[in-house]
Amino acid sequence: MSEATTNIIEARNLRKTYRMGRVRVNVLKGVDLSVREGEWLCVLGASGSGKSTMLHLLGGLDRPDRAGADGGGPGSITYGGKDLRKISAGELNRYRNREVGFVFQFYHLLPELRVLENVTIGAMIRHGRFGYRGAAKREAIDSARELLTAFGLADRLRHRPTELSGGERQRVAIARALVNRPRILLADEPTGNLDRVTGESIIETLAETRERLGLTVVMVTHDERIAARAERVVRLRDGVLARDGFAGAATAGGA
Amino acid sequence: MYQALLTRKYLTSKVMPVLAMLAVTLSVGTVLVTWSVMGGFLETLLSTGRKLVGDVTVTWPTIGFAHYDDLIERLEADPEIEGAAPIIETFGLVTFPDDSVRFAQFKGVEGESFARVTGYDDSLWWRPLDEPTAKDSEAQDPRLGDETGYTDTQGRERRWGWDQLLRDGMTLTDEGRPAAVIGIAAGGFSRRTSAGIYVPQAAIQRGAAGGATTLYEFLPHSDVTISVVPIDSTGRPRGEFGLSTQTVPVANEFFTGLYEADSQAVLVNLDLLQEMLDMDEARRVEAGAGGAVVNPETGELELRGFEDMGIDPERVTSVLVRGKSASSREQAVALKSRVEEIYASFAADHAGEVPSPERIFVLTWREINATMIAAVEKETGLVLFVFGLVCFTTVFLVLAIFWSMVSEKTKDIGILRSVGASTLGVAWLWLRYGVAIGVVGSGLGTLGAWAVIANINEIHEWLGNDFGPWLSKVLTSVSSMFGGGKIEVNLIIWDPAVYAFTTIPTDMDWVKVSVVVSMGVLTCLLGAALPAYRAGRMDPVKALRFE
């Protein structure tokens, strides 16, 4: 387990409201969260508690509210000294592409692409139309091969997602998230669509990869057993951070 | 880069883009075939329209101008000019062997010089023929035999060789007599068949009491009567009843493919028409106090008291000029300028005897036929506009298909945004996809159009001769099952009996292909624009949650 010292990302007074027809739903109601560099943080919470929303905000996939409905000031998400709420759309794209990697519950692989193409898609976006060639292309493909080989998928490079099992698909998704060597891995219920044995193997893969690459992992789950593998667990309840502590404590006081 | 990869993958794995591509292929193919056929039609019309005119015409209508031999000599001395020919153009009446009287446009020509500046020799219809024409599969063309002949209404057997008819047509004479060459559709004595050939047919001679006699007459070597109004050098018609009438034999018939010429023009030996119109060389006198007096010694009538004003030289209304290279509009205009310069020097040397350079009409063949050319060009434009409008619906088809595809691929859009794709990048993916469909669809449409155009006559033959009768048979069978009658489906669209061309003319070039392909790609780009905008603006979180 890595030594967690400085905060890599900090969320302050994080609020998010969705409008569903005429109804406004306050999903996050002022969450403060600091993630230390290299730590494995688990966000525990029931369905609808706002944990996926928080992950999307941390990953720059969505933007927090400017000001709270209760009149509170605007929240912030600080990464590398910059507030994600204030950076340009282009900078936010680059942040998603290079600094974070997403792993989703339903894998979200592009069905028309083969395994190797799915993994290198982030590198293609990173280098652009004219940059993805020569050394950059070779480097991306080597990196993808290396990750897929490490995940036991060396013989599946030319397969399509529909030809893979659930566990294999999730490993491909993890490889895709890591191909640009991000500093943070954001995993949204990565085992939620898998059986117990496969789910454990995915968690094992994540743990080994984090150890090997020195990654910071923020994982969202409602499974207490998986949360127990994390270094630190926070619990979200009704859009509010209910508990922040080490995994053992969280598990002990679990639902 | 990822856009290129996904475009390729989407193109090869989905049915919907194939439908969009098919729509583009059909649109591009249809417009190209239409444009090529209409363009070919215009080109053929222009080339047939030029058969009886030169590249540039020098004209002083009605009265005509003198010293034309000198003008022709000067023109033919110019290195840019191939030849020049005198011609008289006037209007009058022609009476055919069945006593029918038709209005006609007379052209007085010298066969040899006229053929040098026009396509006259090619237009003479009755001539020896070694091979049947393209559509005459049953070799029914009378010209294929050694000679022609028939027994006329009076029971006389009449025979001529085709060579003789061609020679007579070229010289506009018949056994030394000045003759006429008539447009083949003017008299109605020959019928154009579906094989694109002419066969003599019976004419009806109508009587005053309402009776009618069938008259079988082959027009060449028959006599026709031509009547014209002579105009003197001052522009006045001759006398009160000054109609000049002559009966002349028909030397041959001509076919240009231009109905207006083939149904109205009558070519007449130039010397004869000059004489009939008083445009030949003559002594000009002014009437004084005298008159016609009987000489008491000789008992003969003599003209006395007239003042001899000299010789009135022979005149023609036009001189046709053919350039060595004047097929394009620009070349014709350049030739016109050269002819104007030559005419100016000619007019200076004959000051007071010929029209001044400012008044004479020097016109290119395009200017002479401007109305007809403009009409066909407008028709082509109109047809293309209508087809273009129909094909514009492809924009909405592509839009509908792309809109549906963007909906289907919403999750892909969310995934791409989650790995860092920009809104513009995602929009460009769909625009690029539209361009790819446009390029592939237009390419296939061009290939299809090329294949159709290259084989359009064979396709047309097959439709008319095989598919049409087969379809008629099938439809008749179905109809008879329900107590209906016979159903005839005629798929002969380009019938040589109606059109002057035996084959469908086409004119496909790279300019047309470039324009139509560009429009095809633009159509797809327009159709893809709105879905692309929608894809780019899509909220990535909502896109990822899309089910």
- Cβ distance B419 to A117 less than 8 Å, yes or no, reads no
Task: Give the model's confidence band at B158: pLDDT under 50 very low, under 70 low, under 90 confident, else very high.
Answer: low
- With beta carbons less than 8 A apart as the criterion, state whether B435 and B521 touch: yes
Mean pLDDT of B94-120: 91
What is the distance between the terminal CA atoms of chain A, rounded to a whole angstrom?
A: 26
Q: Do A108 and B544 touch (CB under 8 A)?
A: yes
**Percent share of chain B, pLDDT over 90:** 37
Min mean pLDDT across A86-95, B32-41, B100-109, B309-318 is at: B309-318
**CB–CB contact B420 A122 (8 Å):** yes
Q: What confidence score (pLDDT) does residue A113 get?
A: 93
| Torsion angle of C-alpha atoms A21, A23, A27, A28, degrees rounded to 10 | 120
Cβ-proximal residues to B482 (8 Å cutoff; 6+ apart), any chain = none
Q: Do A93 and B422 touch (CB under 8 A)?
A: yes
Contacts of B418 in chain A (CB under 8 A): 59, 61, 96, 102, 104, 108
The shortest C-alpha distance from B427 to chain A (Å) reads 14
Q: Does B6 touch chain A (CB under 8 A)?
A: yes
Residue-level pLDDT at B330: 85
* B257 in A contact zone (CB under 8 Å): no
| Cα separation, B107 vs B153, whole angstroms | 31
Nearest-Cα residue of chain B relative to residue A131 = B1
Cα–Cα distance list, B168 to A42, A231, B87 (Å): 109, 114, 18
Q: Is B412 on the interface with A (CB under 8 A)?
A: yes
- Kindly list the residues from chain B whose CB atom is less than 8 angstroms away from the CB atom of residue A98: 420
Q: Do B419 and A125 touch (CB under 8 A)?
A: yes
Q: Which of A94, A104, A124 is facing B2, going by the closest CB pair?
A: A124
A chain contacts of residue B9, beta-carbon cutoff 8 Å = 112-113
E strand map for B11-99: 56-59, 65-66, 81-95
Give the DSSP H/E element, type plus range, for residue B459. helix B456-462
Burial (Cβ within 10 Å: 0-12, 13-18, ≥19) of residue A221:
buried
Whether residue B5 and residue A89 make contact (CB cut-off 8 A), yes or no, is no
- Interface confidence, given as ipTM, is 0.90
Q: What is the pLDDT of residues B246-265, one digit of tens each?
A: 999 999 999 887 777 888 89
The pLDDT score that the predictor gives to residue B20 is 87
Q: Are B420 and A102 inside 8 Å of each other by CB?
A: no
Distance (Å) from the C-alpha of residue A110 to the closest C-alpha of chain B?
6
Lowest mean pLDDT segment, chosen from B214-228, B337-351, B407-421 = B214-228
Q: In whole angstroms, what is the distance from residue A143 CA to residue A120 CA?
A: 9
More confident residue, A1 or B273: B273
End-to-end Cα separation, chain B, in angstroms? 27
Q: Which of B332, B282, B342, B273 is nearest to B309 (CA)?
A: B282
How does DSSP assign A80-138, residue by residue?
A: TTEETTTS-HHHHHHIIIIIEEEE-TT----TTS-HHHHHHHHHHHHHHHHHSSHHHHH
Chain A 185-244, CB below 8 Å of chain B: which residues?
none
Residue A246 has pLDDT above 80, yes or no: no
Per-residue confidence (pLDDT) for residue B152, from 0 to 100: 58
Give the type of residue at A35.
V
Q: Could you give all domains of chain A from N- to C-terminal order, each with its CATH number?
A: 38-61+88-252 (3.40.50.300)
Residues present in chain A in total: 255
What pLDDT score does B154 carry? 60
Which pLDDT score is estimated for A40? 92
Mean of all residue pLDDT scores within chain B: 85
From residue B2, give the alpha-carbon distance in Å to each of A42, A120, A181, B5, B521.
33, 9, 19, 5, 21
pLDDT at A215: 92
**A114 → chain B, closest CA residue:** B9
